[in-house]
Amino acid sequence: MPQTILYVDDDLALARLAERHFGRAGYQVVPAADGQSAMEACERGGIDLVVLDHYLKAETGLDILKRMKERGWDIPVIYVTGSSDATIAIDALKSGASDYVIKTVGDEFWPLMESAIAQGLANAELRRAKEKAEQEIRLGKERAEVLLAEVNHRVANSLALVAALIRLQVSSSKNDAVKEALAETQARITAIAGMHRSLYTSDDVRHVEMDKYLSTLVREVQGTVKDEQGPSIKLEAEPVSLSSDRAVSVGMIVTELLTNALKYAYPAGSEGEVRVVLKRLGEGSALLAVEDDGIGWREGEAPKGTGLGSRIVKSMAATLGSTINYVPSITGTRAELTVVLH
C-alpha cells in the first residue's frame, strides 16, 4: 500500500507537479490549498507525511504547524519555503518540523524533496519502532514486577504457615529444650517471611525499606518474650533501602542477636532494654548495632546455649561482606557491623 503525502500549497500548478513527481516515486498525494483543508485531511487520518509550504494566502505554514502540534498529531512535516531567510527554517524546526527544503525553480528541487520525504518517513518509522519497543519493555517490566510481588506474597504466606505449624509443635511439646529450639527456628522463619511481606507490600519489589522491616521484626521478636517483666526492645532505624538478599541477611542477624540478648543479657524475670540501631554512615554504608546493658559477654567467651546463633550471625555477616564486632564496654554487650548499601 503506497504511503500518503499531504501536500499543502496554494499554488495549484505546483501541487499538480508534486502529484506527478511523487506518484512516480510510489507515493499517493492528497493536495490541500489552505490550513482548513489541511487540518480536515489530517482529521480523516491516513496521512503518513505532510509537505507544508510557508507562504499561503491567509496564513503561513507555521500557523498550521502550530495547530497540528496542539492537536498532538505525530506526523512528520517537511517544511518548504521560497525565502532564503534562515530564521523561517529555524522557526519551523523549533515548531516541530522534521526537515525543511528551500523551494527553487530549478530541477534540483524535486530530487531534494523526494530525499527529504524518504528520510522523514524513515525517521518516523524508526521513532514509532522505538516507542513500541519502549512500551513493550515497560509492559514487560510491569508484568514481571506484578509476578514477583505475587511470588513474594505466596512465599510469605507459606513461611507464615510453616511458622504457625512450628508454634503448634512448641505448644504440644513437653521438653523445654525442644520448645526453645523450635521457638528459635520459628523466629528465623518469621524473619525471612517478614522480608518477603515487605517486598510485596512495597512499590519496589526489589528493595526492602529496612526501617519498616525492622520495626515489624522487632515487634515479632518482642512477642516471643513470654515474661511481661522481661526486657523491652527499642528500635532506632534511619530510612535505608537494601536489596532483598541483603535485607534477609540483616534480618537474620538482628533476630539472632535480639533473641540472644532477650534470653541471656538480664537475669530471668528482670527488666531491661535491648536497643537495635541502624544508622546511615554515608551514601554507601550503614551501621547496624544491637546492644544491651546486661551482664555482658565478650568475644572469645564460650557462647551460651548451642552456639548455633553465633554461627548464623557470622555466616550472614560474611554474605554482606562484613564481620561482627563486639565493642568492649563496662556493662552490657554491643555487637555491630557495617552494611554496604550497594
Cell numbers given for 292 = 544491651
Given a cut of 90, is residue 219 above it in pLDDT? Answer: no
Ranking 3-7, 86-90, 186-190 by mean pLDDT, the lowest is 186-190
* Rounded Cα distance, 186 and 188, in Å: 5
pLDDT score of 229: 62
- pTM, whole model, 2 decimals? 0.55
pLDDT score of 52: 92
Residue 10 has what DSSP assignment? S
Cell numbers given for 98 = 522534521
pLDDT score of 76: 92
Contact 208, 152 (CB under 8 A): no
Give the pLDDT band of residue 24 (cuts 50, 70, 90): confident
> What is the mean pLDDT of the segment spanning 46-59?
90
CB atoms within 10 A of CB 113: 22
* Rounded Cα distance, 221 and 94, in Å: 63
Higher pLDDT, 270 or 105: 270
Given a cut of 80, is residue 174 above it in pLDDT? Answer: yes
Strand residues in 231-320 grouped as ranges (E): 232-237, 241-243, 273-280, 285-292
* Rounded Cα distance, 182 and 188, in Å: 10
Given a cut of 80, is residue 330 above it in pLDDT? Answer: no
* Alpha carbon distances (Å) from 171 to 104, 168, 189: 95, 5, 17
pLDDT score of 220: 81
pLDDT score of 48: 92
Q: How many CA atoms lie within 13 A of 272 on its CB side?
A: 25
> What is the mean pLDDT of the segment spanning 74-102?
87
Higher pLDDT, 77 or 174: 77
Give the pLDDT band of residue 222 (cuts 50, 70, 90): confident
Given a cut of 60, is residue 62 above it in pLDDT? Answer: yes
> What is the mean pLDDT of the segment spanning 13-39?
89
